[in-house]
Amino acid sequence: MTILTGDCRDLMPMHGPFDLILADPPYGDTSLAWDRRVDGWLPLARAALKPSGSLWVFRSLRSFMTTSRAFADAGFAYAQEIVWEKQNGSSFHADRFKRVHEFVVQFRRADVPWSAVYNDVQTTLDAVARTVRRKKRPPHTGHIDAGHYVSEHGGPRLMRSVIFLRNAYGRAIHPTEKPVFLLEILIRTSCPPGGLVGDWFAGSGAAGEACKLTDRRYIGCEIDPKMAECARARIASVLPFTEGTRP
């Protein structure tokens, strides 16, 4: 578990190849001082990604539409997307809907077919527990026995592409911090156990915490020295819940 301090374009390529790259770059949607698009990192990420690996990127639809060509030019192909629905959101204009969702899009290397990309399909626990109850009706003439139900296992269900999770509002370390459980879902889906996750815009280290909880190796990079220290402290405080957790 490592947090590097500096520009991801300078530091991260030398630490690959990665099984999975997570990226939550500035969207460039606002006038905030830190919300400035970072150019040139996509080709470097593509070169540092294993053939079986993939890239998950957090962004607004507006940001994706503005930068979509950059992904293709860097050698990435679209794989799938999910929508993170949160309990409260943000609205910068009074004449627009309150935005309570973010897009998370998965890309694969364009030279690799989808069938060769690591993909562990996720299911939901509530679907596994669901049952079908069937009633056998008793006869209505002669000796009437008690009716009875037979419960049948409903089987697993694929996780939905719209995932509702509370954000870290009120307890966030970083202004755009993502829920650890959401990051766990992405990591379990796209990185094999023991694999290496590269977090190119580490922020508060939430992805590092998720990697520690899921037994994946982790290298993150954060350009803000103070935030990088917070991320290191956060990851160090997480207990190794699994025996195979790597330092």
Backbone angles phi, psi at 27, to 5 degrees: -80, -30
Note whether residue 245 is domain-resident.
Answer: no
Q: Does residue 118 sit in the same domain as residue 130? A: no
Pairing of strands 76-90, 162-164: parallel
According to the model, what pLDDT value does residue 238 have? 84
Quote the CA–CA distance of 183 and 189 in Å, as a whole number: 10
Helix (H) or strand (E) segment spanning residue 206:
helix 206-214
Q: How confident is the model at residue 167 (pLDDT cuts 50, 70, 90)?
A: confident
| Terminal-residue alpha carbon distance, the chain | 6
Q: Does residue 29 sit in the same domain as residue 139? A: no
Q: What is the pLDDT of residues 110-153, one digit of tens each?
A: 999 999 999 999 987 665 554 555 555 555 556 656 655 555 55
**What percent of the chain has a predicted confidence (pLDDT) above 90?**
54
Q: Does residue 13 sit in the same domain as residue 69? A: yes
Q: Does residue 138 sit in the same domain as residue 226? A: no
Query: pTM of the prediction?
Result: 0.81
Domain with 168 in it: what CATH number? 3.40.50.150
According to the model, what pLDDT value does residue 244 have? 47
Q: Does residue 14 sit in the same domain as residue 114? A: yes
Give Cα separations from 127 to 54, 89, 130 (angstroms).
Answer: 27, 28, 5
Quote the CA–CA distance of 200 and 180 in Å, as a whole number: 16
Backbone angles phi, psi at 67, to 5 degrees: -115, 10
Q: Does residue 42 sit in the same domain as residue 152? A: no
pLDDT at 240 over 70: no
Note whether residue 244 is domain-resident.
Answer: no
Q: In the 3-class helix/strand/coil scheme, how is 114-161 assigned residue by residue?
A: HHHCCCCCCECHHHHHCEEEEEECCCCCCCCCCCEEEEEECCCCECCC
Note whether residue 88 is domain-resident.
Answer: yes
Note whether residue 246 is domain-resident.
Answer: no
Q: Does residue 31 sit in the same domain as residue 71? A: yes
Instruction: Give the residue numbers spanning the domain of 144.
Output: 125-157
Tokens of residue 108, six digits: 């694969």
Mark which of 157, 180, 209 sits at the end of a domain: 157
Q: Does residue 32 sit in the same domain as residue 52? A: yes
Q: Does residue 27 sit in the same domain as residue 140? A: no
Q: Does residue 153 sit in the same domain as residue 221? A: no
Q: Does residue 37 sit in the same domain as residue 131? A: no
Note whether residue 84 is domain-resident.
Answer: yes
pLDDT at 3 over 50: yes
Mark which of 133, 157, 181 sits at the end of a domain: 157
Q: Does residue 69 sit in the same domain as residue 56? A: yes
Q: How many domains does the chain have?
A: 2
Note whether residue 196 is domain-resident.
Answer: yes
